[in-house]
Amino acid sequence: MWVILAVASSAFLGIYDVFKKLSLRDNAVLPVLFFASFTGALIFAPFVAVSLAFPGFSSGYPWHIPSVGLEAHLFFLLKSVIVGSSWVFAYFAMKHLPITVAAPVRASGPVFALIGAILYFGERLSVQQWIGLTVTFCCYYLFATAGKKEGIVFRNNKWMWFMVIATIIGAASSLYDKFLTARYDRLALQAWFSLYLVPVLAVPLLSFWFPNRKKYTPFRWSWAIPMIGVALIAADFLYFYALSLPGSLIGVISTVRRTSVLTSFTVGSLVFREEKNKKLKGLILIGIVAGIAVIMLGS
C-alpha cells in the first residue's frame, strides 16, 4: 500500500516541478517561492482554525488537525527551516538550468536518503538494492557529462552546486520526516509545517529581495504560482500517509517519489523545447528508472 501511495505522490511531484519551471521563467525567485508556499498555508489554515476552535465538532472528520504540544511545534518549525533552505537553493537552480538537467540531479536525493536510512534507521539493503543504487549513481555521473555538452560544467556552474546543496538538504529532510511521522500525527505535521513555511520564507523575501528588487528580475504574477502549492500539498499528503504506515521504508519511498523525473523530463522536452542531447539524456534517464526499479524489486 505504501509503495502505491509513493508512486501517486511522485506523479503530483512531477506536476509540481512543471508548475515550478513555468512560474520561474523570467520571474523573481523568492516571491514565487513565497506565494507558492502561502497558497499551501491557505489550504490548511481553515482546517487548523476549525480544529482548534471546535475540537469536539471536527474530531469526527478526516480533515481534523489534532492539537500538539510545544515540543512538536518546535520540531515542525525546524522542518520548515530545513525545507525552506532546500527550496531556496532548488528554485534558483531550477530557474537557471534546463529542467531536463535540473530534475534528474534533484532526483538523486533518494540516494543520499537511502544512505542515511541505512546509517541512522538501520534499514538494510539486499544485493539487488545495492546493484540498483550503483546503477543510479553511475547514471547521475553520466548526466553530469551530458550537461557539459550544453556548456554546463558541473564543477564551474554554481547553479548545479545550488541543486546539489538543495538535494542534500532535501535528503536530510526526508530522514527527518521518518522521525516525525513516527511520533506525531501526519496531518498535524503537514498543516503546521505548511503554516510555518510562510514566516520562514518571508525572512529572505523581505531581507534580500524586497530592498533590492529594482536590481533583480521583477516579480510577475502567474496562475502557475498557486498551482505549485496545490500540487505540493497533494504530493506531500500522499507522502506523509505512506510514511505513517507500518513497515514503510524511507529509503524506498524517497527513491520511488523521485520517479517524478519522468514527468519533468517529458514536459521539459515537449513544452519547454529543451532539445539538446535529448536522446542521450533519455537513455540515461532510462538507466535511472532501471536502477530505481531494481531497488524496488529488492525491497
Q: Identify the domain containing residue 64 by its residue range.
A: 2-297
Helix (H) / strand (E) element for 78: namely helix 70-96
Q: What is the DSSP letter of 219?
A: P
| Angle between helix 2-24 and helix 261-270 axes, rounded to 10 deg | 30
Q: Which three cell numbers stand for residue 110?
A: 533518494
pLDDT of residue 75: 96
> What's residue 37's pLDDT?
94
Q: How many residues does the chain have?
A: 299
pLDDT in tens, 55-103: 877 777 788 899 899 999 999 999 999 999 998 998 888 787 776 666 6
pLDDT in tens, the chain (299 residues): 777 888 888 888 888 888 888 898 889 989 999 999 999 999 999 999 999 888 877 777 788 899 899 999 999 999 999 999 998 998 888 787 776 666 666 666 767 777 777 777 676 767 887 787 778 767 766 765 665 555 555 566 788 888 888 888 988 888 898 889 889 998 999 999 999 999 999 999 999 888 988 888 889 999 999 999 999 999 988 988 888 888 777 777 777 777 776 776 676 666 655 556 667 777 877 887 787 778 667 65
pLDDT for the residue numbered 146: 62
3-state SS class at 223: coil
Cα(113)–Cα(228) distance, rounded to whole angstroms?
Answer: 24
Percent of the chain as helix, strand, coil, to the nearest 5: 80, 0, 20
Nearest to 278 by CA among 260, 266, 292: 266
In single-letter form, the type of residue at position 279 comes to: K
Residue type, 150: E
Spatial separation of the C-alpha atoms in residues 280 and 261, rounded to whole Å: 15
Q: Which three cell numbers stand for residue 239?
A: 507522502
Sign of CA dihedral 49, 54, 57, 59: positive
Q: How many domains does the structure of the chain reveal? A: 1
Residue given cell 505513517 in the structure block: 244
At residue 191, the pLDDT reads 94
Compute how many other C-beta atoms are within 10 angstroms of the C-beta atom of residue 168: 16
The distance in angstroms from the start CA to the end CA of the chain is 13
pLDDT of residue 263: 72
The per-residue pLDDT for range 27-56, each reduced to its tens digit, is 998 999 999 999 999 999 999 999 988 887
Q: Where on the phi/psi map is residue 42: left (φ > 0), alpha (ψ -120 to 50), or beta?
A: alpha
With 0-12 CB in 10 A as exposed, 13-18 as middle and 19+ as buried, what is 182?
Answer: exposed
Reduced to 3 states (helix: H, G, I; strand: E, B; else coil), residue 231 is helix
CA atoms within 13 A on the CB side of 70: 0
